[in-house]
A and B are shown apart, each in its own frame.
Chain A
Amino acid sequence: MKSYSSASRSLLLAGAFFGALTLSAVAQQPAAPAAGAAPAAAPAPLPPGSPLIGRPADNEAAAKLAPVAPPPLAGAPDKLPIAKLKLPPGFNIEVYAAGMANARSLALGDKGTVFVGSRLVDKVYGIENKDGKRSVKVIASGLYRPNGVAFKNGTLYIAELSKVSKIDKVEDNLDSPPKPTMIYDKLPKDEAHGWKFIAIGPDNKLYVPVGQPGNVVLHDEDHGQIRRMNLDGTGAEIYVRGVRNTVGFDWNPENKQMYFTDNGRDWLSETVPEDELNRVTKQGEHFGAPYCLQGNIIDQELGWGKDCKDYTAPVGLMGPHVAALGMRFYTGSMFPKSYKNAIIVARHGSWNKTNKQGGDVVVVKLNKDGTVKSMEPLITGFLQDNKYVGRPVDVMQLKDGSMLVSDDWNGAVYRITYGKQKVAGK
């Protein structure tokens, strides 16, 4: 031990000497500080765009936090955490389909097929419903982060990281569907917030978000927005701006206004900013990101000279770091009356928080004027002892008024019903 440390000291001295001799050579490298200089006091600041901006450098609790990745293998049907999930009295939950690694966004076909996107694998799945039996098929593979799926008039739309494609008459060919045809690819290729949720609006346009390319970052005109376009990919235009990363939206059935969830930035604090529930009242609105957070906090770095009054404030706050993702208005009649036209939201759950929050499905009830009246839990139990046993991503109503929930941790889709429990066909 002793000889080792003296050896290392002599090496250090040699290094310093060597460093001094080669100082001029070293100085030609732009990023390299002079060798043998006094020990650096404070580390250099993070470059713009680093996802770690805001993280305190010497904080033990902060150093324990890292993005949580789901296991790659889908959970076996008999090992899903269904018994751990809790719902209000009268509600039931069952496994609808399993074995779909990283099951994410949901879309419903005319003939009852449920399409399921993924983010960390390359597949879009289809859950076929035939003669009361369900079976899982791979509809497309070899795709890059195919998170988004939407369906209209026989056609499935798929959004990958930087392109949107479609498969016509997909439900006629579930066993050997043709390869998707690209309809739109004028999209940035950033990994950060590059995966997409998509949906088709009441105006028959396809809505495609482009997230901000980092945690908290100034960006160009092509990011931080929701676009809309015709169903063949033409006529793309910016619908709204100031969107950090939305992974869920739907339209109020009463007045056709779009509502969307938006995820707040990381590393500002444990308690703020909260994720947003936003309402669009007119095209061109700006929702504040990255300058104004949750409608009333000016960003400590990028917000100088900005005023929250200049941006549209959220109608609801969904909790800090909870990752409010998929959301749909409930229009069915199976659930209690108070659920009619309420919004069901999947909160994927936090990583940037010591005591995890979210990892549940909530119901957001609205006032007559479209503002938020209340937020109540619908499914809890995905979070056990500060660890995930599942993570809800998207929700979608079936024709009978029951609701599906996807879980990318287990690669499964669950079905929620209300009232006397009906056992669905296996």
Chain B
Amino acid sequence: MRKITLALILASITFSAGAETLEERFVTCQGCHGEKGQSGTENTPSLGGQQAPYALIQLFMFREKLRDFEPMNEMAKALTDDDLRNFSDYIAKIPKPAPPTDAGEPARMQRGQALVKQYLCNTCHNGDFSGKENVPRIANQREDYLAKTLGEYKDNSRHGYDGSMADVMGAVPKEQIADLAYYIARVR
């Protein structure tokens, strides 16, 4: 199944490798990452409004296989330095993801908010979690993706560009990741 998906993606890259505009090439990305910057795919991040320097770092890491995820490693393999820059700038300009319509279970929201305050996430990610420069926007990111990513930083199975998030998550108990992700996904 995964092979078929990959083959389809690769086929679409080959077809789109002509003189298309960036918007046309980005249609391939929307297959998994959703339209209008908002992902509807399990464990797959919304890209809208992402900080361009962060997006550039991730695309670079996928291309250089410094971050392991086969479909993205394949997608980024043939991208030039300029492609990486252009896609990053493009991603930064598409609309940021909207918060889910449900406001969230108050008790969990309260717990998540207390944890976010305790761990001073705002230091790097900003008070509204919009991120800055190499620090990603995490506000209203998909909950499953947030939880997965925090878990991977905690056990260092996802190698960050630098070790900052491994360092931060080292002190955070695994049991608190679910509430952190729940809150950040719904923060308004």
Contacts and interface: CB of A to CB of B under 8 A. Distances in A.
Contact of A66 (B85, B124, B156, B166): B124
Contact of B60 (A12, A31, A72): A72
Contacts of B179: 32
B98 to A, nearest CB: 14
Interface in A111-127: 119-122
Interface stretch (B8-16, B40-48, B138-146, B168-176): B168-176
A52 B120 contact: yes
Chain A contact residues: helix, strand, loop or mixed: loop
A30 B174 CA distance: 12
A67 B164 contact: yes
B134 A31 contact: no
A29 interface: yes
A47 to B, nearest CB: 4
B162 A194 contact: no
Contacts of B176: 31
Contacts of A194: 163
Contacts of A177: none
B135 A12 contact: no
A46 B167 contact: no
Given A44-B118, A47-B171, A69 B111 contact: no
A50 interface: yes
A55 B120 contact: yes
B105 A66 contact: no
Contact of B134 (A8, A19, A68): A68
B137 to A, nearest CB: 14
Q: Which of A49, A71, A214 has the most CB of B within 10 A?
A: A71
A39 B166 CA distance: 30
The bracket for how many chain A residues form the interface is 35 or more
A51 B168 contact: yes
A384 B86 CA distance: 25
Given A8-B103, A63-B123, A72-B57, A120 B161 contact: yes
A63 B127 contact: yes
Given A47-B171, A55-B123, A33 B111 contact: yes
A73 interface: yes
B18 interface: no
Contacts of A11: 103, 106
B117 interface: yes
A89 interface: no
Contacts of B84: 73
B66 A69 contact: no
Interface in A213-259: 214-215
A67 B54 CA distance: 13
The main secondary structure of chain B at its interface with chain A is helix
Interface string B14-57: 00000000000000000000000000000000000000010011
Nearest to A53: B171
Interface residues of B, number: 47
A283 B13 CA distance: 60
A35 B107 CA distance: 5
A16 interface: yes
B51 to A, nearest CB: 11
A51 B161 contact: no
A62 interface: yes
B70 interface: no
Contacts of A73: 56, 60, 81, 84-85
B61 interface: yes
A332 to B, nearest CB: 34
A12 B108 CA distance: 11
A214 B167 contact: yes
A25 to B, nearest CB: 11
B157 interface: no
Interface string B147-186: 0000000001001111110111011110110010000000
A71 B53 contact: yes
A40 B164 CA distance: 28
A48 B175 CA distance: 17
B27 to A, nearest CB: 25
A19 B56 contact: no
A322 B168 CA distance: 22
A26 interface: yes
Given A8-B103, A66-B123, A73-B56, 16 more contacts: A16-B106, A31-B173, A35-B110, A40-B117, A43-B118, A44-B118, A47-B172, A50-B171, A55-B123, A63-B122, A69-B53, A121-B66, A122-B64, A144-B159, A191-B160, A191-B163
5 contacts: A31-B173, A35-B106, A50-B171, A67-B124, A122-B66
Interface of B: 53, 56-57, 60-61, 64, 66, 81, 84-85, 103, 105-107, 110-111, 114, 117-120, 122-124, 126-127, 132-135, 156, 159-164, 166-168, 170-173, 175-176, 179
